[in-house]
Amino acid sequence: PQLINQIAAGEVIERPASVVKELVENAFDAGARQVEVDVEQGGVRLIRVRDDGCGIDREDLGLALSRHATSKIASLEDLERVASMGFRGEALPSISAVARLTLTSRTADVPCGWQVSADGSESDFDIQPAQHAQGTTVEVRDLFYNTPARRKFLRAEKTEFGHIQTLVQRMALARFDVGFRLRHNQREVLRLQPDAEEGGRPERIGALCGPDFLEQALRVEFEASGLRLHGWVGLPTFSRSQADLQFFYVNHRPIRDKLVGHAIRQAYQDVLYHQRQPVYVLYLEIDPALVDVNAHPAKLEVRFREGRMVHDFLFSALHRAIAGHRPGRTAS
Ligand code: ADP
Ligand code: MG
Q: Which residue has the higher pLDDT, 255 or 121?
A: 255
Residue 313 has pLDDT above 80, yes or no: yes
Residue 284 has pLDDT above 50, yes or no: yes
Residue 139 has pLDDT above 90, yes or no: yes
Looking at the structure of the chain, the number of domains it has is 2
pLDDT tens digits along 140-199: 999 999 989 888 989 999 999 999 999 999 999 999 999 999 999 999 999 999 987 666
pLDDT tens digits along 33-46: 999 999 999 999 99
User: Does ligand 1 lie within 6 Å of residue 90's CB atom?
Assistant: yes
Residue 85 has pLDDT above 60, yes or no: no
Same domain, 188 and 297: no
Q: What is the pLDDT of residue 240?
A: 52
Position 278 confidence tier, pLDDT thresholds 50, 70, 90: confident
Residue 13 lies in a domain: yes
Q: Which residue has the higher pLDDT, 67 or 171?
A: 171
Ligand 1 center–CA 184 separation, angstroms: 24
Atom of ligand 1 nearest to the CA of 22: 7
Residue nearest to atom 12 of ligand 1 (CA): 64
Beta-ladder partners of 35? 51, 180
Q: What is the pLDDT of residue 7?
A: 66
Average pLDDT, the chain: 85
Same domain, 180 and 307: no
Q: What is the pLDDT of residue 78?
A: 67
| Helix 157-172 vs helix 16-29: crossing angle, to nearest 10 | 20
Position 95 confidence tier, pLDDT thresholds 50, 70, 90: very high
Please name the residues in contact with 270: beta carbons below 8 A apart, sequence gap of 6 or more.
315, 319, 331
Note the ipTM here. Answer: 0.99
The rounded distance, in Å, linking the Cα atoms of 222 and 127 is 52
Domain, as residue range, for 106: 2-192
Residue 200 lies in a domain: no
Residue 200 has pLDDT above 70, yes or no: no
User: Does ligand 1 lie within 6 Å of residue 104's CB atom?
Assistant: no
Same domain, 274 and 160: no
User: Does ligand 1 lie within 6 Å of residue 328's CB atom?
Assistant: no
Ligand 2 center–CA 90 separation, angstroms: 7
User: Does ligand 1 lie within 6 Å of residue 38's CB atom?
Assistant: no
Residue 210 has pLDDT above 90, yes or no: no
Residue 207 has pLDDT above 90, yes or no: no
Atom of ligand 1 nearest to the CA of 51: 23
Tell me what the mean pLDDT of segment 314-327 comes to: 85
Same domain, 253 and 279: yes
Same domain, 276 and 133: no
Q: What is the pLDDT of residue 332?
A: 40
Among 21, 26, 103, name the best residue to mutate to test ligand 1's pocket (greatest count of ligand atoms within 8 A of Cβ).
Answer: 26
Same domain, 125 and 254: no
Q: What is the pLDDT of residue 239?
A: 47
Residue nearest to atom 3 of ligand 1 (CA): 89
This prediction's pTM: 0.86
Same domain, 20 and 117: yes
- Share of residues in the chain with pLDDT > 70 (%): 80
Same domain, 184 and 51: yes
User: Does ligand 1 lie within 6 Å of residue 88's CB atom?
Assistant: yes
Q: Which residue has the higher pLDDT, 323 or 250?
A: 250
Ligand 1 center–CA 289 separation, angstroms: 25
Tell me what the mean pLDDT of segment 60-83 comes to: 66
Position 112 confidence tier, pLDDT thresholds 50, 70, 90: very high
Ligand 2 center–CA 25 separation, angstroms: 6
Work out the end-to-end distance of the chain between its first and last CA atoms, rounded to an integer number of angstroms: 63
Residue 64 has pLDDT above 80, yes or no: yes
Residue 307 has pLDDT above 60, yes or no: yes
**Which CATH number is 30's domain given?**
3.30.565.10
Among 29, 47, 96, 104, name the best residue to mutate to test ligand 1's pocket (greatest count of ligand atoms within 8 A of Cβ).
Answer: 29
Position 79 confidence tier, pLDDT thresholds 50, 70, 90: low
Residue nearest to atom 15 of ligand 1 (CA): 64
**Which CATH number is 242's domain given?**
3.30.230.10
Ligand 1 center–CA 44 separation, angstroms: 22
Tell me what the mean pLDDT of segment 84-99 comes to: 75
Q: What is the pLDDT of residue 249?
A: 94
Ligand 1 center–CA 29 separation, angstroms: 8
Ligand 2 center–CA 150 separation, angstroms: 22
Tell me what the mean pLDDT of segment 209-223 comes to: 87
User: Does ligand 1 lie within 6 Å of residue 103's CB atom?
Assistant: no
Residue 260 has pLDDT above 60, yes or no: yes
Return residues with CB closer than 5 A to ligand 2 (ion). Answer: 26, 91
Q: Which residue has the higher pLDDT, 124 or 93?
A: 93
User: Does ligand 1 lie within 6 Å of residue 95's CB atom?
Assistant: no
Last residue of a domain, one of 141, 164, 192: 192
